[in-house]
Amino acid sequence: MPTRARRSGHARGFTLVELMVAMVGGMFVSFAVFTLAKHSSAFSLRQARIADATLQNVVGFERLKADIARAGFLSTPNLVNDPNICGDREAAGYPAWLGRLASVFIEAVPPLQRSSEMTLNGIIPSRIVLSGSYASADEFVARNIIGGAEPTVFLVPNSLGMANINYPATLDPTALGQVFATGRALRIVDDAGKTQFGVIAGVTGGANPTIELEPAPALEFRADSGLRCGIRGHGKNVVNVVNIVRYDFRDLNDASLPEFSHMFRGGPSYEATRRELIREELDVTGTPIDGTLELIAEYAVDLGFSILVAPDTASPLVRFSGNDVANYAGDPVGLGLNAGPQLIRAVHAWLSVRSQEADRTAPIDPLVTAGPGPNLLRISVHPTDRDLPPFARVRTLQSTIPLNNQARETW
């Protein structure tokens, strides 16, 4: 008994008070660790989202820059006033958008295509239409061209342009059709350097590849042309495709666009107001060509432009912005002889995208935040009041892109 008593006295344990103190202390430590981990995780996710928005902006903006830099390539900067054009753009059957073909055309995005957050924050983004040879960098030799009710261009199969699309090796019309797609414009340059345009109706492969054209606009031939220009002889004419591409804002949460449905899976109310910057190709009537729509940047909130114009050969470049852009980059049909896109030497562009999550409760500076353009830092996604939270962060890229393809156009 004395031995057992001594052993029991040395085998001490926790008292109830000590156990409660330890449990409460552990709970506080666990709560602090959980809170720290929660905020760290949320901060990491927010930074990942804005990093993703920035990366998308960079990739999309580089695509836009490349297309602007190529505007006017193997085309015309302004068909309305181009002295090298052969043919009458006002003739019956001349497609509307072919008759106003221009290297650069800038206009405001229509109100119905803007998001409510754009309207609420006073942002009026622009969209841009560019024309040039984007599908191929080559001119193709035409061994013969016939007119009439079924105009046809007969191509030289063993020319360099055909080799670059791997045609002579396969004789596959698919390769030919990818460049000379139906609805695109075909530029024809005769042996005197004069230019005219047709509309592609189809292609035929085989040993004698051809491009079929629509009857209108009618082709001009030197033998019967009163314009002292036109197609003449065999193998003395070259042709190339002309693409018309547009950068625009779209709501892609559309049942007709199932390929983008995975992007829309509920979320906050402002998720439904998002807009994306897209790129699509237009045919000569201004109608989007099926299968050409591409997503350029998600959560786009602004796209804007200013232009640098050479008013004459002796004066320095002049910058135009705002409503003055339309004086040179507007519809060329309504512009005078001493205006038009052919005088644009560079385009300054900026693209703004917001973060997916609205994670800020106040603007950085009301004066800066309220002004759209390159200085836009945050945008309110509140449904009715631009001064109320939540605010989403905005990332903007801008650059000045020279138009090298029309650097020497002075008419």
| pLDDT tens for each residue of 390-411 | 999 898 999 999 999 998 888 8
Which residue ranges of the chain lie beneath pLDDT 70? 1-12, 37-47, 49, 224-227, 365-372
Query: Residues 230, 221: contact at Cβ < 8 Å?
Result: yes
Alpha-carbon distance of 283 to 324, in angstroms, equals: 28
Give the pLDDT of residue 30: 79
Give the pLDDT of residue 6: 52
Neighbour count for residue 86 (Cβ, 10 Å) = 24
Read off φ and ψ for residue 326, nearest 5 degrees. -65, -20
SS3 at position 9? helix
Give the pLDDT of residue 15: 84
Give the pLDDT of residue 368: 47
Question: pTM of the full predicted structure?
Answer: 0.86
Closest CA relative to residue 194, chosen from 321, 83, 358, 117 = 83
Half-sphere exposure of 323 (CA within 13 A, CB side): 0
Alpha-carbon distance of 21 to 98, in angstroms, equals: 84
Neighbour count for residue 228 (Cβ, 10 Å) = 10
Give residue 188's region: left, alpha or beta (phi > 0; psi -120 to 50).
beta
Residue in the block written with tokens 């197609």: 231
| Residue 352 identity | S
Q: Cβ-count burial of 72 within 10 angstroms (0-12 exposed, 13-18 middle, 19+ buried)?
A: buried
Token pair belonging to 277: 């910057």
Give the pLDDT of residue 342: 94
Give the pLDDT of residue 366: 54
pLDDT in tens, 316-370: 899 999 999 999 999 998 887 788 999 999 999 999 999 888 888 888 765 444 4
Distances (CA, A) of 238 to 70, 146, 155, 157, 186: 20, 14, 9, 13, 10
